[in-house]
Amino acid sequence: MKKCDYCAKEISYYDQYCDEECEKKALDFYSLREKYTKVFSILNIIGVFGVPVGLFLSAIDAAIGFSLTAFSMMLVGATVIFLPFPVENMISSMKIKKAIFVTRMIGVGFFVIGVVLMIIRIILF
């Protein structure tokens, strides 16, 4: 049996979604992704490049390096939490609903790591 592209329920071979609600949610997801892809990419680039720069700066000034690394991790985490755009392979294997959930959990992990780094920075420096 084929599965709904949004919620992964089993459906007829000729359908794409199990009902109109799933279709609406899937179309909303795709339109949101199309609308905010540039913002998502820019924030992720800033965050991803901020981590190695922060690690490099921590050799020079530990407080600034830890702060930049923590801020970059929190930026990536917050971006992925609020704009959960999983890659196409993830969507095709898990379907949209579960892929968004897993992506948000990864974002929460990044955000928590950033908060822990910021707490370590406050305690140590």
H or E stretch covering 100: helix 96-124
pTM listed for this prediction: 0.89
Q: Are the C-beta atoms of 25 and 31 separated by less than 8 Å?
A: no
Residues of the chain with pLDDT > 90: what percent? 88
Averaged pLDDT score across all residues of the chain:
94
- Parallel, antiparallel, or unpaired: how do β-strands 2-3 and 10-11 relate? antiparallel
pLDDT given at position 36: 96
Secondary structure percentages of the chain, helix, strand, coil, to 5: 80, 5, 20
What tokens were used for 1?
């049996």
Q: Where are the domains of the chain?
A: 36-124
Residue 124 clears pLDDT 90, i.e. is over it: no
